Amino acid sequence: MPRFKPFKQTEQNDNTHRWLVSYADYMTLMFALFVVMYAMAIIEEEKFSVLSDTISHVFKTTDQFSKGTGKGVSGEGILTSNEPKVDSQLHGISIVNEEKGPELVDGRGELSNLQQKYLGQPLDALEEELKKAISDEIEAGQAQLEKDMNWLTIELSSSLLFASGSAVATERARTVLRSLLPILNANRNYLRVRGYTDNQPINNEVFRSNWHLSVARATEVLVWLEYLGIIPARMAIEGYGEYSPFSDNNDEQGRQQNRKVVIAISKYALPETDETEITANAKQTTEQAVEKLKQDAEKDDSLKVIELPNGGIRITTREQEQ
């Protein structure tokens, strides 16, 4: 009779699936690593974008130079000169590279279209000088300085310059403009004189609308600046009437803030054609301005014109200190 061996059941090893634990740990660490890398990529995305754009610009510029000159393989170098060719002319202490001014509508005359390449005195330096010159008016809230990339504006309240409904400059206005003369006349930056009014209608025998009033007041200020010696070719007039308010016209305080004349100084300047001619004209203009100021001082005993050793002048209402 055949003998059957008893069936022996194979014992299962409990360590068969331990590799899953190590695999799970590995996947967890990899997941954490990619989360950290993704977070770092998001934080540095802006800097990486700037770096990428800069590198692309450098290689593109280099490629343009090599294609344009056909050099770079003969040992003469990629650039044809030691200085980069730029369209802008650099003057003063400004550092501007291929920067263009605001493109306005085509007009007659250089000031109507400010696609200029001649840079004037930096606006930062002018701002500091103007703050000292009209510090009293700024503290009284009758004047304000504002600066952006292209313009430095001197905002003068109409109550400081004119009587109500009038476009005749007061003596106070003339005093303020005289205090601005040494600063404005020491450079060739373009000037825009802008007139603004509130929305209260005006219709009399002198002014038919706020348009006429705003332009008349701007013209009065410009004519006085010309009288004091500012080169006329630097200046232009703009009248905005009631249609560019600085504040709400619904209350008296807002309307008062909207009645003003603004002297805007451009970062671009009137080009110098002949250095000798410019120097002679500037000297003649300054001498004429000083003479006119002396004549005004003789008419008004309260004003004193003092010539400084460095060639400048000081206008004061007090006797010169000994």
Please report which helix (H) or strand (E) contains residue 224, including its range: helix 210-227
Domain ranges across the chain: 21-58, 123-271
132 pLDDT higher than 70: yes
| Per-residue pLDDT, 77 | 45
Of residues 79 and 142, the one with the higher pLDDT is 142
Q: Are strands 235-239 and 260-269 parallel, antiparallel or unpaired?
A: unpaired
What number is the average pLDDT over the span 234-254?
Answer: 92
The whole-number pLDDT of residue 320 equals 44
Tell whether the model's pLDDT for residue 143 goes beyond 60.
Answer: yes
- Give residue 45's pLDDT: 58
- Kindly state the tokens that stand for 312: 């400048």
With contact defined as beta carbons under 8 Å apart, do 145 and 155 qualify?
yes
- Residue 105: what pLDDT? 43
Region 158-170 average pLDDT: 90
The backbone torsions φ and ψ at residue 233, rounded to the nearest 5 degrees and listed phi first, read -65, -15
pTM above 0.75, yes or no: no
- Using pLDDT thresholds of 50, 70 and 90, give the confidence band for residue 219: very high
Give the DSSP H or E segment for 194: strand 189-196
Q: How confident is the model at residue 206 (pLDDT cuts 50, 70, 90)?
A: confident
Q: Give, for 256, the enclosing helix (H) or strand (E).
A: helix 252-258
pLDDT exceeds 90 at position 241: yes
Query: What is the pLDDT, as a whole number, of residue 191?
Result: 95
The answer regarding whether domain 123-271 maps to CATH 3.40.50.300 reads: no
Mean pLDDT check: name the lowest of 115-124, 156-165, 197-206: 115-124
Question: How much is the average pLDDT of 26-43?
Answer: 82
For 291-309, the pLDDT digits (tens) are 766 666 666 555 565 665 5
The mean of the pLDDT values for the chain is 75
Percent of the chain's residues with pLDDT above 90 = 40
The whole-number pLDDT of residue 321 equals 43
d(C-alpha 24, C-alpha 28), whole Å: 6
Degrees, nearest 5: CA angle 253-157-178: 165
Asked whether the predicted pLDDT for residue 76 surpasses 50, the reply is: no
Alpha-helical runs (H) found in the chain: 19-43, 45-69, 123-133, 135-139, 158-161, 171-184, 210-227, 252-258, 275-299
CB contact set of 100 (below 8 Å; sequence gap of 6+): 115
Q: Using CA atoms, how far apart are residues 50 and 43, in angstroms rounded to an integer?
A: 13
- Band (261; pLDDT cuts 50, 70, 90): very high
> Does residue 66 have a pLDDT over 70?
no
What pLDDT, on the 0 to 100 scale, is given for residue 61?
55
Interval 80-101: pLDDT, tens: 444 444 444 444 444 444 445 4
Residue 220's pLDDT is what?
A: 94
